[in-house]
Amino acid sequence: MSVAGPSTGWQLPGLAQNTFTPGHAVDPTSTVEISIRCSELEDMDVFSKSDPFCVLYIKDMKSKQWLCYGKTETIDNTLDPQFQKKFVLHYKFEERQLLRFDVYDSDNDSPNLEDHDFIGSMECSLGEAITQQGKGLTRHLVGSGKSATNKKQTITITSEELISNKEHLNLTIGATKLDAKDWWGLGSSDPFLTISKSGEYGQWTVVHRTEVLKRNLNPNWKPFTLSITSLCNADHQRALKFSVEDWNLNGSHSHIGEFTTNVSELIEGGTGQKFPLVSQKKRKKKGNK
């Protein structure tokens, strides 16, 4: 696999004006990135697996109303989604900030939540999620109707305090001679690339997924740009995993290969840098011999 055209860019922040006013202290805050994953969700569909997405609400302490903050992408045919979408929140040390995560099975393109099947909900405070940090806060998703009896479905909220950084990384990625995973008359694959960043406790968090390129063993995905903050939180030595899979309609994607690197290596390697894609299945077989 080749990674072409990695480059960074940044801008110099302007000089901050002195806005301190005696007797008016600024509330202590930090900026936190929230990642979401679920496991063993209820299967709401008859002929396929659920197509989950998650909606985040924040409780307004004055009105006591739940305000919609945003939603993740929808991931088709999976009961164990790892959402790429991240939520960036300002954590106020002296306030209790309540969050609610509602998970739905997408049934159509409607923007109305009533048109989708409710899978489950979980409430917690932002402080509780931050306390668990890289380990993640895992709790049961409380459902209704069909999903009410599923006591195994969980949601995990992982938080990370962000370090201010203006850099970004421009990536153009392609691969050659991928394994053909589709043998029924095609002899090809439908590859897509997932980039994940390493975390504590051996966990990986999805940062970016490319588009799927149908019937292509030599894919060249569209160029994209990622902020250094989202990619490695300003730690250029932080391990990154690039994994290529063959997309399948039923959600059971086939692993083709992967490699690990870091931002420092990507920048130093320059345009046209190449990495071998290693199949974990083949690696295990060789290790057992």
User: Do 220 and 260 sit in the same domain of this protein?
Assistant: yes
Rounded Cα distance, 196 and 272, in Å: 21
Six-digit token pair at 116?
């989708």
Q: CA 209: distance to chain centroid?
A: 8
* Least confident segment among 12-16, 55-59, 156-160: 12-16
- For residue 121, give both structure tokens: 């909900």
Q: What is the distance in angstroms between the CA of the first residue and the CA of the last residue of the chain?
A: 27
For the ranges 52-56, 71-75, 134-138, the lowest mean pLDDT is seen at: 134-138
Which residues span the domain enclosing 153? Answer: 29-161
Last residue of a domain, one of 126, 161, 196: 161
Length of the chain: 289
Q: Is residue 15 part of a domain?
A: no
Helices (H), the chain: 126-132, 228-232, 263-269, 280-288
Which of 239, 244, 188 shows the shortest CA–CA distance to 211? Answer: 244
How many other CB atoms are found less than 10 A from the CB of residue 9? 11
The Cα–Cα gap between 188 and 213 comes to 11
191 and 102, same structural domain? no
Radius of gyration of the chain (CA): 21
Which pLDDT value is given to residue 11? 28
Burial (CB count <10 Å: 0-12, 13-18, 19+), residue 50: buried
**In a shared domain, residues 143 and 236:** no
Claim: this prediction has a pTM higher than 0.85 = no
The CA distance from 171 to 271, in Å, is 10
Q: Per the domain annotation, does 86 fall within a domain?
A: yes
Do 76 and 128 fall within a single domain?
yes
Beta-ladder partners of 70: 56
Q: What amino acid occupies position 33?
A: E
Residue-wise pLDDT for 162-195, tens only, equals 998 889 999 999 999 999 887 764 678 999 999 9
Let me know if residue 140 belongs to a domain: yes
